[in-house]
Structure 1
Amino acid sequence: MASSFEQIRERTVIVTLTPNPALDLSHQVDALVPGTTHRVRTVHERAGGKGLNVSRVLHQLGCATLALAPVGGLVGEAFRAELAGSGVPHGLLPVRGGTRRTVAVVPADGAEPTLLNEPGVPLSDGEWAALLALLEVTLRQARVLVCSGSPAGPAERMADVVRSARAAKVPVIVDTTGEALLAAARAGADLLKPNAAELREATGIAEPVAAAGKLIAAGAGAVVVSRGPEGLLAVLPDRVVAVAPPRRVAGNPTGAGDAVVAALARGLAEEQGWEAMLQTAARWSAAAVAAPVAGELDLSVLEPRPSRS
C-alpha cells in the first residue's frame, strides 16, 4: 500500500472507492447456446468492480487516480497480484471475507453478453470503519471522489461515504442502485449516475426527468442518466442537457457506464461545462463498448473519423 501512496503524494487525484470489488473474468465464445458445451476462444482476468474500472480508464488516459477497495481470500490474492501488475495506483484493505468473481460470456457473433455476478461478502462494521478511515486519509489529495457499486452492507453506508467527502470538501460522484442510490441522494451527493432502469427502480417513476428530479429534491446536486443507444441525459436543478452517442459501436457494453463516470470525474476535476463533459462521456462510453474488457477504452474510437471528399 505504501508504494501506491508514494505515487500520488503531493498530487491532486481522482480517488475511486469500490466497496464490493470483483475479479472479473471475460470468456469469449463463438455463440452462446444455453444447455450446450462451449469452447472458450479467449479468457481475460483482471481486478475489477465499477470503481476499479473507472480508475483503469483514467489511468489509461494519463489522469492521476487512486483506487481503493477491500480484498480477501484466495480470489483476493489473485486480485491483488493482477492490480499490482496493471500499474494503477491503489490502496487495498485486507478483510476476512473472500473477494467475489464476475463472469462475462461474450459471444463473437455480436449477441449481448451474459453476465454472472457473485454477491460478495458484506464487510463487518469494523472493516467498514477501517475502509472509511483509509478513504479519509486519501481525500487529503483528492480532487474528486467516485464511489461505485454496492455498499458491501447496509444501504446507509453509501451515505457514510458521501458525508466523508463533504467533510473533506471534495465533490463526490456515486454510481449505485436501489436504496443505496436514495441514501446517497439524501446525504447530498454532488452527482448520481444511474442508468435508466436503475433510476426507475429506485424512484418508482418511469419518466427519467421526473425520476431524476425526485433525487435532486432529496438532496442530490445533479443526476446523469445512461440511456444506452439514446445517449446521456443530465438533469440539473435549473435545466436538462441531452447528448446523443457519437456513433453506434458493436462490442461489450459492460464497462460503458464506468467510462461515463470516468469522464464525468475528469470533467468535475477540471471544472468543465456540462455540455463538454457529456460529449466526452458519450465518446468514452462508445470507446469502452469497442474494447474487449471493462475498464479499458479502444482509443481508435476516440480518433476523429476521416472526412469524405
Structure 2
Amino acid sequence: MILAVCLNPAVDVTYSVTALRHGTSHPVSAVHRRAGGKGVNAARVLAQLGEAVTLCGFAGGGTGRWLRDELSGSGVTERLTGVAGDTRQSVAVVDDADATVFNEPGPVVADGDWDRLADTFAQQLAGCAAAVMSGSVPPGAPADAYASLVRIARAHGVPTVVDTSGAHLRAAADAGATVLAPNRDEVGLPSGGRAELLAAAAELSGRGGGTAVVSAGRDGLVAVSGEHRWAARPPRQVTGNPTGAGDALSAGLARGLAREATWPLVLADALALAAAAVAAPVAGTVDLDLYRELADLSTVEDVPCP
C-alpha cells in the first residue's frame, strides 16, 4: 500500500475555454468538478494504475463532505481528519495554450486537529511501502508540518516523497525525506537551464541526503542523488492541461520507491506518467495508452559531476 498525504485538499473546478483573455467574458465549453489538491491527484493516479492507496489530510464543512463523497468511487481509501472550517476550492481555467489556476488558502487547522492527523498518519504506516506528501499547508498547521511527518515515516522505516515549496520543502529535506520533488518554480528557477536546475537539486539533496528531482515541464526533469546526476526529457511534446502533471510525477516516484526500482527506471516511468497526465482532461488522471507508449520511449541520461 502507498500512503498519500494532502494536508490542504480542494474541490477542483476546471473551466475549458478557447482562449483566456484578461478583462473579458468567456463562454465555457466544459466544466469538471472533482476532489483535488496535489496529494489527492497523486493518490488518484496511483489508484488508476491499480495501486492500493490510502489518503490522509484534512476535510471540513460542506465542501469537505462533497469531497469525501466524490472520493468514494475513485479507488482511493480516505482517512481524512475533520476540521471546523470549510475545505477550499480551486479553479483552473484551461485554454488551448495553458492553464490558469486560482487557489483558496484552506481552513484554519487547530493544534488538536494536527495531533489527530499525525496519529492517523502513524497508524496508516503499518504495511505501507511508501508515502507521498504533496501540496500547500493550510493556515494554522505547524511550521514543520511535512518535516514532522517525514520523521514519523522514517521511524517506521517508510520512504517518503515530498512535493512542496519554500520553507516546508527545505525543512522536509533537512528531516531526511527520501525524495524531494519540487518543480522549477518551487526552487525559484522559472527560467533556469539544466545547469541551474541541477545545482538547485544538488543543494536540496545535500541538506538531508535524499534524492532531489526537479521537474521543468516540457523541458523534462533533472535528479541528483549523492554523486549521481540524471536528466531526462519527454520523448515527444504533449499538449493539453498541464495541471496535475507534477502530481502524476510524484505518484510515479512513490510507486518506484515502493517497488525498489533503479533510479533511471523510476525517473523514466515518472516522466512518462507526467506527460500522459497533460493529455488527460482533468488533474488526477492520466491517458493510460499514451503512458504505455511514452514509458517504452523515455530515456534517462547520466550527467557527469562538474
Relative to the length of structure 2, the TM-score reads 0.91
The Cα shift of 1:285 comes to 0.8
Indicate whether 1:142 and 2:128 are aligned. yes
TM-superposed deviation, 1:269: 0.6
1:6 corresponds to which residue? none
Instruction: Please tell me the residue identity of whatever aligns with 2:132.
Output: V
Unaligned segments of structure 1, at least 5 residues: 1-12
Looking at structure 2, the residues matched to 113 and 216 of structure 1 have their Cα atoms a distance apart, in angstroms, of 30
Match of 2:198 in 1: 209
SS at match of 2:26: coil
Give the whole-Å Cα distance in 2 for the aligned partners of 1:120 and 1:196. 24
Match of 1:3 in 2: none
Root-mean-square deviation (CA, aligned residues, Å) is: 1.8
Secondary structure of 1:295's aligned partner? coil
- Which range moved further: 27-36 or 248-257? 27-36
**Corresponding residue number in structure 2 for 1:291:** 280
Alpha-carbon contact 2:240-2:280 (below 8 Å) kept: yes
Q: Give, in angstroms, the shift of residue 217 of structure 1.
A: 2.3
1:1-309 matches, within 5 Å, as 13-107=1-95, 110-152=96-138, 153-200=141-188, 207-304=196-293
SS at match of 2:4: strand
Deviation at 1:83, TM superposition (A): 0.8
The answer for unaligned runs of 5 or more in structure 2 is 190-194, 298-306
- The alpha-carbon distance between structure 1 residues 213 and 303, as it changes in their structure 2 partners (threshold 3 A), is closer
- Per the TM alignment, residue 209 of structure 1 is displaced from its structure 2 partner at its CA by 2.0
Query: 1: CA distance between counterparts of 2:146 and 2:137?
Result: 6
Conserved? CA contact 1:229–1:248, under 8 Å? yes
Query: Counterparts of 1:179 and 1:105 in 2: how far apart (Å)?
Result: 28
Cα distance between partner residues in 2 of 1:245 and 1:296: 18
Count of aligned pairs between the two proteins = 290
- The CA deviation string for residues 68-96 of structure 1, in whole angstroms up to 9 with x for no partner, is 12100111111111111323221121111
- Is the Cα–Cα contact under 8 Å of residues 240 and 281 in structure 2 kept in the other structure? yes
Q: Provide the identity percentage.
A: 48
Q: Structure 1: how far apart are the matches of 2:205 and 2:276?
A: 30
Tell me the residue number matched to 2:304.
none
**Structure 1 residues 220 and 118: alpha-carbon distance in aligned structure 2, compared to 1, 3 A threshold:** farther
The Cα of 1:151 is off from its aligned counterpart by: 2.7
What is the Cα deviation at residue 42 of structure 1?
1.0
Preserved contact between residue 209 and residue 226 of structure 2 (Cα < 8 Å): no
Render the CA deviation track for 1:174-213: whole Å, top value 9, x for unaligned: 0000000011011111110011121137xxxx82222222
Q: CA deviation at 1:226?
A: 0.2
